[in-house]
Amino acid sequence: MLEDKNQERTSLAELGEFGLINHLTKHFKIHHSSTVKGIGDDCAVLKNTEEEIVVTTDLLIEGVHFDLSYMPLKHLGYKAVMVNLSDVYAMNAEAQQITVSIAVSNRFPLEAIEELYAGIQLACNTYKIDLIGGDTTSSTKGMLLSVTAIGSAKKEDIVYRNGAKPTDLIVVSGDLGGAYLGLQVLEREKQVFNVNPQNQPDLDAYTYIIERQLKPEARKDIPALLKELGVKPTSMIDISDGLSSELFHICTQSKVGCKVYEEKFPLDPQVISTCEEFNLDSTMVALSGGEDYELLFTVSINDFDKIKGNPNLTVIGHVTEEAAGLHLVTRANQELELKAQGWNSFSDQE
Amino acid sequence: MLEDKNQERTSLAELGEFGLINHLTKHFKIHHSSTVKGIGDDCAVLKNTEEEIVVTTDLLIEGVHFDLSYMPLKHLGYKAVMVNLSDVYAMNAEAQQITVSIAVSNRFPLEAIEELYAGIQLACNTYKIDLIGGDTTSSTKGMLLSVTAIGSAKKEDIVYRNGAKPTDLIVVSGDLGGAYLGLQVLEREKQVFNVNPQNQPDLDAYTYIIERQLKPEARKDIPALLKELGVKPTSMIDISDGLSSELFHICTQSKVGCKVYEEKFPLDPQVISTCEEFNLDSTMVALSGGEDYELLFTVSINDFDKIKGNPNLTVIGHVTEEAAGLHLVTRANQELELKAQGWNSFSDQE
Q: What is the DSSP letter of B56?
A: E
Per-residue pLDDT at A5 exceeds 80: no
Q: How confident is the model at residue A345 (pLDDT cuts 50, 70, 90)?
A: low
Contacts of A51 in chain B (CB under 8 A): 48
Superfamily of domain covering A14-157:
PurM-like, N-terminal domain (3.30.1330.10)
Nearest-angstrom CA–CA distance, A298 and A171: 6
Q: B205 vs chain A: nearest CA distance in angstroms?
A: 33
The Cα–Cα gap between A81 and A147 comes to 7
Is residue B17 within 8 Å of B138, Cβ to Cβ?
no
pLDDT of B7 reads: 52
pLDDT at B12: 77
A350 pLDDT tier (thresholds 50, 70, 90): very low
pLDDT tens by residue, B102-152: 999 988 998 999 999 999 999 999 999 999 999 999 998 899 999 999 999
Contact criterion met (CB < 8 Å) for B137 and A53: no
Partners of residue A65 in chain B, C-beta under 8 Å: 137
Which residue in A15, A188, A177 sits closest to A111, CA to CA?
Answer: A15
Q: How far apart are CA B185 and CA B67, in angstroms?
A: 13
Looking at the complex, does the CB of residue A253 fall below 8 Å from at least one CB of chain B? yes
- Dist CA B1 CA A40 (whole Å): 38
- Whether the per-residue pLDDT at A26 is higher than 90: the answer is no
CATH class of B169-344: alpha beta
Position A95, amino acid: A
Contacts A–B by Cβ distance under 8 A: 243
* Subunit contact B137:A40, Cβ cutoff 8 A: no
Smallest Cα distance from A76 to chain B, Å: 17
| B346 closest CB neighbour out of A12, A87, A347 | A12
B146 closest CB neighbour out of A44, A53, A59: A59
pLDDT of residue A343: 53
- The C-alpha of B41 sits at a distance from chain A's nearest C-alpha, in angstroms, of 6
pLDDT above 90 covers what percent of chain A?
Answer: 75
d(CA A266, CA A245) in angstroms, rounded, equals 17
Q: Quick one: CA torsion of B77, B16, A283, A178, rounded to 10 degrees?
A: 30
Domain A169-345 classified CATH 3.90.650.10? yes
The 10s digit of each residue's pLDDT in A246-264 is: 999 999 999 999 999 999 9
Instruction: Dump strand ranges (E) for A154-278.
Output: 169-173, 235-238, 257-261
Which residues of A, range 78-97, sit inside 8 Å of B by Cβ? 87-88, 90-91, 93, 97
pLDDT of residue A342: 52
Does residue A348 register a pLDDT over 80? no
Distance of CA B278 to the CA centre of its chain: 24
Per-residue pLDDT at A7: 52
CATH topology of domain B15-157: 60s Ribosomal Protein L30; Chain: A; (3.30.1330)
Binding-site residue numbers of B for Mg(2+) are: 42, 56-58, 87, 135, 238, 241
- Calculate the average pLDDT of chain A: 91
C-alpha to C-alpha distances, B268 to A24, B170, B219, B243, B293, nearest whole angstrom: 40, 19, 17, 16, 15
- The reply to whether A59 touches chain B by the CB within 8 Å rule is yes
Q: Which residue ranges of B are tagged as binding site?
A: 42, 56-58, 65, 87, 117, 134-135, 161, 238, 240-241, 291, 343
**pLDDT tens digits, A195-227:** 888 887 888 899 999 999 999 999 999 999 999
**What is the mean pLDDT, run by run of 10 residues, along chain B of 350 residues?**
56 76 85 86 87 94 93 96 97 95 91 94 95 91 95 94 97 97 94 85 91 97 97 97 95 97 97 97 94 98 96 97 96 91 51
Of all residues in chain B, the one with the smallest CA distance to A58 is B135
Of B267, B221, B226, B251, give the one whose Cα is nearest residue B327: B251
Q: What pLDDT band is residue A341 in, cutting at 50, 70 and 90?
A: low
Task: Measure CB to CB from residue B17 to each of A42, A161, A344 and give the nearest one.
Answer: A344
Q: How far apart are CA A58 and CA A80, in angstroms?
A: 8
Write the Ramachandran bin of B327: left for phi over 0, alpha for psi from -120 to 50, otherwise beta: beta
A15 reaches B (C-beta below 8 A): yes
The per-residue pLDDT for B160 is 96
Using a CB-CB cut-off of 8 Å, the residues of chain A touching B160 are 37, 41
Q: If contacts are CB pairs under 8 Å, which of residues 113-142 in chain A contact chain B? A: 132-135, 137-142
B321-341 in b/e form (b: 16+ CB < 10 A) is: eeeeebbbbeeeeeeeebebb
Longest CA–CA separation in chain B, Å: 65
Q: Which residues of B touch A54 (CB under 8 A)?
A: 43-46
Name the β-bridge partners of B147.
B58, B100
Residues 6+ apart with CB under 8 A from A197: A2
Nearest-neighbour CA in chain B from A167: distance (Å): 22
Best residue of B10, B11, B57 to probe chain A, by most A CBs closer than 10 Å? B57
Q: Which residue has the higher pLDDT, A48 or A60?
A: A60
Whether the CB-CB separation of B327 and B338 falls below 8 Å is answered with yes
Average pLDDT over every residue of A295-300:
98
Domain layout of chain B by residue ranges: 15-157, 169-344
ipTM: 0.89
Minimum mean pLDDT range among A169-173, A185-189, B126-130, B198-202: B198-202
Chain B residues closer than 8 Å to A99 by CB: 55, 57, 148
A19 compared with B211, residue with greater pLDDT? B211
Q: What residues of chain B, 17 to 56, have a C-beta less than 8 Å from chain A?
A: 17, 20, 36-37, 40-56
